[in-house]
Chains A and B, each alone.
Chain A
Amino acid sequence: MNAITIGFKNLTRKKIRTTLTVAGIALAVAVLVSLLGFDAGYQKSLSGDIDKLGYHLLVTAKGCPYEAATLILKGGGGLRYMEENIFKRIASDPRVDKITPQLMNSVYNQEGAGGKGAFAMYVGIEHSYLELKPWLKFRWGGWFSGSAADEVIMGYEAAEVEQRKPGDKVFVPGVSKVLTVKGVLKRSGTQDDGVIFLPLATAQNIFELPGKLTGVGVKLKDIGQIADFEESLYNEPGIQVVSLAEVRGTILNLVASARAMAGSVALIAIFVALIGVTNTILVSVFERTREIGVMKALGASSFDVFKIVWSETVIVCALGGLAGVILAISGSGLTAKVIRGMLPYAPQGELVLIKGEFVWMALLAAIVVGLIAGTYPAWRASRMKPVEAIRAGE
C-alpha cells in the first residue's frame, strides 16, 4: 500500500466518473498536441513547397494580384502581363544564377465536370524551368521537340486523370487547339503534378499573348543579395517583385495569428479540464469524508491524506494526458484532412507532424495540471478533523 495505489484504487470505485474526467483531459491534451503538430507540420510543408518552387524571387506584372488570381481561377483573359524584354534585362544582371520565364493561363471548359464547367492550368515554359527544378523527372517521353512545338508535357496527376501517354492528343477548349503529349513527369509531390506545360512560344501563340509573360522566376547566386536585388528592381515600371522567403515569412505570420487563436482555445480547454478535475476530486473527497476520518483514526497524518488525494488527481491527469497523446497521434490523419478542407491554402506534405518532444511536453503539462488541480481538494481532505469526519452523516 502506498499513496498512489490507494489513490488508484479509489478512482476505480466510480469508473464512469473517472472515465469522463480522463476523457476531458484527453480531449484538451489532444487539441494541444494536434495544434503543436499542425504548427510543425505546416511550417515544414510550407517551407518544402516554397523550396520546391525552385526560385528565390518571383517577378510578376504590376497590378492587383487578387484580381489576377480571380481571373486566372475563372479562366483566361484580362490578366496583366509583362513584356518579355523585362525578362531579358533581369537575365543580364550578374547576380542572377538561374532565371525562367512563364506564361500561365487557365482555360475554362464548359463541358468539364459533367457540364458544370471546370478549368485546367496551362503554363508556357522554357527549358530553364527544369534547370531551376532539378527534381522534376520524366516518367515517359522528354522535352519538347522545338521551342514552338504544338506539344505538351503533363504533370503526373494531370496525365493520370486524362489517361495520357506520349503521342496522345490533348484538346484545349476555348482556343480549340489540339496538342500532342511529348512527355509525362514523375510524381514530384508539388503543384507541378497538376499542370499542363507547353513551350512558352506555343503558349504565347495559342493564347494570343505574343511577347507576354505572367511571371519570371529568379534564383540568385547569393541568397544574401535578395534585398539589394529587390531594391534594384523597385523602379522598373510595370512589375512587382515577391521574395518567396518573405512569402514564407508572411504566411507563417498569418498562420501564427491563427495558431495563437487556436492556442487560446486549447488553453481554455485545458483550464476547463482542470476545473473539471478539481470538481470531480472534490466531490469524491466529500463523498469519502467518513473514510478520511477513519484513515486519520488509523494513524494517517494530514500529509498522508493530502498525498492520497493529490495522487488521484495526478493519476487522472496522467492517464488523460496519455490518452490524449494517443488520440492526437492516431487521429493526426483525420485532423490533417479536416484542416486541409478548412484552409484556403494548405501546402502539400504532412500537415500535422507530431514530434517526440510534443508528446513529452503534453504529458508533463497534464501532470502539472493534475498537481495544480489536486491541491485544493487534497488540502480540504487533509484539514478534516477526524471525529467530525467519522461522525459526519451519522
Chain B
Amino acid sequence: MKDVIVRAEKISKIYKLPGEQIAAVKDIDLDIYAGDFISIMGPSGSGKTTLLDLIGCLTSATGGRLTVMGRDVSGAGESCLVKVRRQFLGFVFQDFLLIPSLTVVENVLLSLYFSRQHQDKKRAINVLNLVGLGQRLNHLPAQLSGGEKQRVAIARAIITNPKLLLADEPTGNLDSRASQEVFDLFKQLNEKEGLAVVVVTHNPELGNQAGRVIKLKDGRLAA
C-alpha cells in the first residue's frame, strides 16, 4: 500500500469579488500517492493552477478538507503552510523565477537556507549534476537558456528532498526539445528517485506521458 502524500476531499476555492463569487475549484476529491506521476490538464480557466496552488499549500481552500502527509491543513494560516511547504513540497514555475542576482549554485543553496537545512555546497553540486548543469555552477540566470533555467529551478525544488514536486506549466516558455528534456527529467526523478510529481500542462503530448492524467473542466474533475 503506497503512502498518501496529499488527500483532498471535496476541496473548493471560491473567490469573492464585489458583486459576485467565482468558484475556481469545486468539490474535488484527489489522492496523490508516493511515486505518482500525475498530469493535470484542461482548458484555460478550468482551475488547474488553482488546484495546484491548493495542493501546494500556497493558498488555503475555502471548502473541503486537505491533508498533507497526514497533517490537516484545511483553513491553516500562512505560518503553518510555510512549514508544510518547507518540509514536504517542491515547486517549479512556468517563468522559472530564479533570483537573477544569485548564481546557479546560489539559487539552489537558497532553497536549503529557507528550509533550515545545512547549506552543503557538495550536495547542491550533486543535484545540479543530476539535472545536467554541473558545468554552469557559477553562471547567472541571464547567461542560461530557458531549458537550463528550468533545470536549475528543478534542482532548487528537489534539493530539500521533498515528497512531492509540483510543476505549473513548466514547459510553457520552452521549445519542444527543451520541453521534452524537462519532462524526461521529471520521469527520471519519478522512476529512479521515487519522487512524486504533479505537473499542470495544456500540452497533451507531454501530459499523456504521465502515469495518471487528471482532466478539469470548469473547476471540477472532468469525466
Using CB atoms and an 8 Å cutoff, list the residues of chain A in contact with chain B: 1-2, 6, 9-10, 12-13, 290-291, 293-302, 304, 385-387, 390-391, 394
Contacts and interface: CB of A to CB of B under 8 A. Distances in A.
Contacts of A390: 58, 93, 97
A297 B58 contact: yes
B114 A10 contact: no
Given A6-B102, A294-B97, A390-B97, A299 B86 contact: yes
Given A297-B91, A300-B82, A13 B113 contact: no
29 contacts: A1-B110, A1-B112, A2-B113, A6-B102, A9-B102, A10-B99, A13-B100, A13-B101, A290-B95, A290-B97, A295-B110, A296-B82, A297-B58, A297-B91, A298-B86, A298-B115, A299-B82, A299-B111, A299-B114, A300-B114, A301-B79, A301-B82, A301-B114, A302-B79, A386-B58, A386-B59, A390-B93, A390-B97, A391-B49
A319 B36 CA distance: 51
A299 B115 contact: yes
Given A294-B97, A295-B114, A302-B79, A387 B53 contact: yes
B97 A291 contact: yes
B193 interface: no
B25 interface: no
A13 B101 CA distance: 6
A298 B101 contact: no
A317 B116 CA distance: 28
A228 B79 CA distance: 76
A55 B113 CA distance: 70
B98 to A, nearest CB: 8
Which of A297, A301, A394 has the largest count of B CB atoms less than 10 A from its CB?
A297
Nearest to A391: B49
A296 B119 CA distance: 18
B53 A304 contact: no
B148 interface: no
Given A9-B102, A13-B100, A291-B97, A298 B111 contact: yes
Contacts of B85: 296-299
B156 A298 contact: yes
Band of interface residues on B: 20 to 34
Interface of B: 49, 53, 56, 58-59, 78-79, 82, 85-86, 91, 93, 95, 97, 99-102, 106, 109-116, 119, 156, 160
A215 B33 CA distance: 104
Contacts of A13: 100-101
B59 A298 contact: no
A4 to B, nearest CB: 12
A295 B93 CA distance: 12
A298 B91 contact: yes
Contacts of B79: 301-302
Given A299-B115, A300-B114, A9 B101 contact: yes
A387 B59 contact: yes
Contact of A10 (B101, B113, B119): B101
Contacts of B156: 298
Contacts of B97: 290-291, 293-294, 390
Given A297-B91, A387-B53, A390-B58, 12 more contacts: A6-B102, A9-B101, A294-B91, A294-B99, A298-B86, A299-B114, A300-B82, A301-B79, A302-B79, A386-B58, A386-B59, A390-B93
B93 A6 contact: no
A294 to B, nearest CB: 4
A174 B56 CA distance: 99
A68 B119 CA distance: 80
Nearest to B59: A387
Contacts of A295: 99, 110, 114
Given A1-B110, A302-B78, A390-B58, A294 B93 contact: yes
Which of A293, A295, A302 has the largest count of B CB atoms less than 10 A from its CB?
A295
Nearest to A294: B97
B113 A12 contact: no
Contacts of B86: 298-299
B59 A304 contact: no
Which of A1, A290, A302, A304 has the largest count of B CB atoms less than 10 A from its CB?
A1
Contacts of B116: 299
Which of B56, B95, B99 has the largest count of A CB atoms less than 10 A from its CB?
B99
B158 to A, nearest CB: 12
A304 B83 CA distance: 13
Contacts of B102: 1, 6, 9
A301 B115 CA distance: 9
Contacts of A293: 97
Nearest to B111: A298
A301 B59 CA distance: 14
